[in-house]
Amino acid sequence: MNIVEVKNLYKIFGKDTGDVYPLLRQNTSKEKILEETGCVVALNDVNLEIKKGETFVLMGLSGSGKSTFIRCLNRLIEPTKGEILINGNNVTELSSEKLREVRRKTMSMVFQNFGLFPHRTVLTNVEYGLEVAGEEKEVREKKAMESLELVGLKGYEQSFPHELSGGMQQRVGLARALANDPEVLLMDEAFSALDPLIRTQMQDELLDLQEKMHKTIVFITHDLDEALKLGDRIAILGSGGVVRQIGTPEEILNNPADSYVKSFVENVDKTKVIKASTIMKKPLTITIPKDGPNMAVRKLEKAGLSTLFVTDSHRILQGVVRIDDAVLLQKKKQSDIVPIIDTDVSITSPETPVGDLLNAAWENKYPVAVVDDYHRLLGIVDRASILAEVDSDYENVLLSDATPEKVLPENSGGVND
């Protein structure tokens, strides 16, 4: 279900904005339009939909129109043309009363520079929105405390913003936005002012929070890595406020829509983004106790493989069986396969980036097993599929005839000379 729908949205700053449309139709550049009309094109025919519960990232270079876009959503900026539907209601047509309601209840914003009141305590900062909305003291204190707890700031209620680090101040900003339980969270470069380490930590925490909250988040950033990490889908905004591509991180990395997007993603290490679950294959398996050596040999011969994975009836991984061992058992007419199950199998979670599996894939005789929290076998990742995803230089090195020890001395330790 779409919670936000944006149709043919334009924002043009300046006086005679009507003069701008014919020029835009002729693909005149933003610079030329400014020169000829004195108007700045901030958003040019933006069309997009944001689904309930997703983290939608709008990413673009500075000046591409990101802040303008997010501010059009709650009409802090008045769109020049186009429609913005929130839950089916056109925001551009709301009465000021209805608009206030949308700003207070439906959407909350988190700002790059935190935007906290310096003379208010953490608690009263977080309460502010509820206070404005006319909530009773008791209720708003309770809600504010809950949302402070959610962002890990319990115990800091009586502190003042200046007593807190940047990361903590932004947590207050986040708590404030969450306090009125909005449907949509608008985050404009919310982590951009933070030190890299704190920033990474905040990103991780937002992902954790989102796993619990399932809010709709519109997150703005100029940082591609941040976009890829946080976004369920990403819209890439080019110069002059034109959307160049909308897609999942993988779609954008694998299939950049044009040269602009391509130049953006060229330097990204895909192995950090693509997950084990994406490249895993269906494993050949047998189930114990019902299957024994005969079944194993039969399946292996049919598939032309030398090993298969063993699970129990709950799909929980038990290990691997090799064809030679299975044949021996078969010859000895033994039906219990457990003694030949090799448990020395590397496992990983479906969320693991492919890059983190490289070593495991080299060091193990079997493919890496992808398992869920209950150790149930979901799939397997073999060397070939990992190599297919790593960038080409590395691929060339790994696929050359030399042994991995020889070509990767710094990782392997024990090299001859």
List residues binding Mg ion (CB under 5 A): 66-67
Q: Does 240 bind ligand ADP (CB under 6 A)?
A: no
Residue list 6-35, contact with ligand ADP (CB under 6 A) = 13
Q: Does 80 bind ligand ADP (CB under 6 A)?
A: no
Give whichever of 34 and 360 is closer to ligand ADP, judged by the CB atom.
34
Give whichever of 135 and 189 is closer to Mg ion, judged by the CB atom.
189
Whether the CB-CB separation of 115 and 76 falls below 8 Å is answered with no
Identify what 65 binds: Mg ion, ligand ADP, none; CB under 5 to 8 Å per kind. Answer: ligand ADP
Identify what 60 binds: Mg ion, ligand ADP, none; CB under 5 to 8 Å per kind. Answer: ligand ADP
Query: In whole angstroms, how close is the CB of 262 to ligand ADP at the nearest point?
Result: 20
Cα 255 to Cα 264: distance, rounded to the nearest angstrom = 12
Give whichever of 114 and 309 is closer to ligand ADP, judged by the CB atom.
114
Piece of the chain touching ligand ADP by CB under 6 A; list 56-64, 126-134, 142-150, 190-198: 56-64
Identify what 64 binds: Mg ion, ligand ADP, none; CB under 5 to 8 Å per kind. Answer: ligand ADP
Cα 145 to Cα 153: distance, rounded to the nearest angstrom = 9
Identify what 27 binds: Mg ion, ligand ADP, none; CB under 5 to 8 Å per kind. Answer: none
Q: Does 368 bind ligand ADP (CB under 6 A)?
A: no
Cα 53 to Cα 2: distance, rounded to the nearest angstrom = 9
- 289: Cα within 13 Å, side-chain hemisphere: 2
Q: Does 63 bind ligand ADP (CB under 6 A)?
A: yes
SS3 312: strand
Q: Does 108 bind ligand ADP (CB under 6 A)?
A: no
Query: In whole angstroms, how close is the CB of 67 to Mg ion at the nearest point?
Result: 3
Give whichever of 17 and 412 is closer to ligand ADP, judged by the CB atom.
17
Long-range contacts (CB closer than 8 Å, 24 or more residues apart) made by 98-107: 99/75, 102/74, 103/74, 104/129, 104/132, 104/133, 104/180, 105/133, 105/180, 105/182, 105/183, 106/182, 106/183, 106/184, 107/73, 107/74, 107/182, 107/183, 107/184, 107/185, 107/186
Characterise 214 by phi-psi region: left (phi > 0), alpha (psi -120 to 50), beta (else): left
Report how far apart the first and last C-alpha atoms of the chain are (Å, whole number): 61
Return residues touching ligand ADP (CB under 6 A): 13, 40, 42, 60, 62-68
